[in-house]
Chains A and B, each alone.
Chain A
Amino acid sequence: MDFGLLFDSYFAVWLNPQVLFMTLLGACGGVLLGAIPGMTATMGVALLIPFSFGMDLIPSIGLLLGIYCGGMYGGSISAILIHAPGTPSAAATLLDGYPMSQKGEAGRALSVAMFSSFCGGVIGALVMTFLSPLVADMAMNFGPGEMFMLAVFGLSVIIAISGKSIVKGLISAFFGMALCTVGLDPTNGIPRFISYKQTGLLDGFQFIPTLIGLFAVAEVISGVERIISGEEKQEKSSEKIKKVLPDLSTIKKIWPNILSGGLIGTFIGAIPGAGGDIAVFVSYGASKSASKHPELYGTGIPNGVAATESANNGCSGGAMIPLLSLGVPGDSVTAILLGAFIMKGITPGPMMYISELPTVYKVFAALMLANLCMLIVGCCGVRFFAKIVSVEKKLLYPIILVISLLGAYSINKNVFDVGVCVAFGVIGWLMNKYEFPLSPILLALILGPMCEKNFVRFMNIQQGNFMAIFQSPIAVVFMAIAVAVIIFSVFNQRKINKRMAGASASDE
């Protein structure tokens, strides 16, 4: 580690007005893009690549990293305020974020999300700066078997996010996993549950329309129902937002969640093929399991928001590690960033640390700067965003519906996807009514394809010998953790149910 060079690089990047401006602009755009359901950071980065043609490398990387980090935080805004995760990585934020805003703490939830995003991002950037070679070595050791077990480990969180009834949560999860298999079989292209003629379903149910349907559309339907039955009260937004950052007592409460979330995010983000959408659920499950009051999770506590938001921003740092040191992108955004580097004549990979070290350090500095810019944009925006909650619900619900449907369309430009979105809206509404938790379906939709693809690939490479999985230490560790998590969460859930029963008994 050449600290002199690192210091020089920070100096050169942070004091360059063009880089500052571009990064701030990117962060601004990213936050806004992320907040619109259906517009993801990936899309934003892809659309802005042509604009960066004429720029130098570092300003254009600053711009793109700004969008990346901003988009990660932006997704939580709509998750917290309107129950519609703006990006898949914000899907776990609504578990506690939305209840918070319903309790009239929208501003607090937003500032916790922003602060945790920033801290998570900084943790990611620090790990990237100091541990890149180590983490990259770890990432190289992930083959199909390890990826399969990582997916299984991710799925073990399901019980922790199932809510009251574990049985219903598991039914939801298996239903979700079965839904993932609709479409062409990934290995041999055999149609499953469809015929070749159903072109819209060849790739299965598209993730983002499904996500928007299950959460945003379902929320609009039940919102309308609540208004008619008179249950919906218009919040007068009694909350006065004095400070845009969370107060000290809150920070004291949430810092362990931020720390663990940031680290979990960084390490999961560093594994190529696993991204923020998985990390947030793992982090949420971990912080719930470690908590003294697991029964409060899901009712709107800042710890839940902190755990998820720090994890998804930690991912941005994590995903940069294999990108720079291996030339292998960790997720879809870094795949596009890879293109941006190559366009400027620099090939990320093991050689980059040898031949282009100053550039590598400048990218570290730019990522740190992007996180800072995200914090600045977030701080300026909190008061404004929090106002959305006080818009009259009778105007807000229809608008959420039409914006969500547009988001479902814009991903693939396919009307069929809008239909999928509406169908899942109805499914989500019904499941909500009958207390089937939605998060397990979502987690299954994220992990199902990863689980199946890697399982089949592993079996094909090992010529059908599944026991070969025990030869991989990484896979065995994941398997052991998964088993431990499952056993622990079953007991934990019993404890929670007992406490809840006790609490409702004492109410009476």
Chain B
Amino acid sequence: MKKTQTVAFANLIESIFFIALGIWAWIKTGSFEEVKNTYVQASTFPRIMIAGMLIFSVILCVQSIWRLATWKEEDQDSLAGKAASINVFKERPIQAAFVVIVLAVLFVALFQILGYVICAAIVSLVIMFLIGKRNWLQMVLVSVIVPLAMWFVFYKVLTVNIPMGPLSFLTDLFG
């Protein structure tokens, strides 16, 4: 195992990420408008929190560098273990996870146009296929009936309107 695959190395990257995020956010707080009639400015509280985040990120960073500097191949402790990977190009499970994320984003993008039932049915069908379900009858039934039932409960029992897109006629039908 290489040094760059250890948890310690992953921690180093994470701490750098949080430090960068903190610095960016801190700079942003500089542009908050200041007002006269208050004793605490809008930027005060966020700055305290960002400072806290930065301090502990730096601690994590130093810890990780220290661990990496003294790292040996045969170390067994948790920091020397193998870190999780998010390499999309190599690992199939990660690819699947990304497909789910993309589907969820598509769900959000198409929610108003296609409506809940259609979006939900498509998303769940594709995910079921992706994770190796092949019983088409079950797949189609579950992914169509569950969203329909959810819509019905929300619309009829809880009187919550949900976009239905092309299926809006159902709303009129159940008046």
Contact = CB atoms under 8 A, between A and B. Distances in A.
> Are chains A and B native binding partners rather than an unrelated pairing?
yes
Interface of A: 33, 39, 43, 47, 164, 167-168, 170-171, 173-175, 177-178, 181, 185, 187-188, 190-193, 217, 220-222, 224-229, 392, 394-395, 397-399, 401-403, 405-406, 409-410, 413, 415, 418-419, 422, 425-426, 429-430, 433-436, 448, 452, 455-456, 459-460, 463-464
A456 B40 contact: yes
B37 to A, nearest CB: 8
A33 B154 CA distance: 10
B104 A434 contact: no
Contact of B146 (A39, A221, A394, A399): A399
Given A192-B32, A224-B130, A415 B138 contact: no
A229 B127 CA distance: 15
Nearest to B25: A178
Give the secondary structure class of A's interface.
helix
Nearest to A178: B49
B86 interface: yes
Contact of A463 (B39, B50, B132, B146): B39
B84 A401 contact: no
Interface of B: 7, 10-11, 14-15, 18, 21, 25, 28-29, 32-33, 35, 37-40, 42-43, 45-46, 49-50, 52-53, 56-57, 59-60, 63, 78, 83-84, 86, 92-94, 96-97, 100-101, 104-105, 107-108, 111-112, 116, 119-120, 123-125, 127-128, 130-133, 138-139, 142-143, 146-147, 150, 154, 158-162
Contact of B158 (A39, A171, A394, A452): A39
B100 A220 contact: yes
Contacts of A448: 49
B35 to A, nearest CB: 5
A399 B49 contact: no
Contacts of B100: 220-221, 224, 401
A459 B42 contact: no
A418 B107 contact: yes
Contact of B108 (A185, A228, A229, A419): A419
Nearest to B153: A36
Nearest to A403: B150
A448 B138 CA distance: 45
Contacts of B159: 47
Contacts of B10: 434
Contacts of A459: 39-40
28 contacts: A47-B158, A167-B59, A175-B18, A175-B21, A177-B52, A188-B35, A192-B43, A192-B46, A193-B25, A224-B130, A224-B131, A225-B96, A395-B133, A395-B138, A398-B124, A398-B125, A398-B127, A401-B104, A402-B119, A402-B147, A415-B111, A419-B105, A422-B101, A422-B104, A430-B86, A433-B86, A448-B49, A460-B39
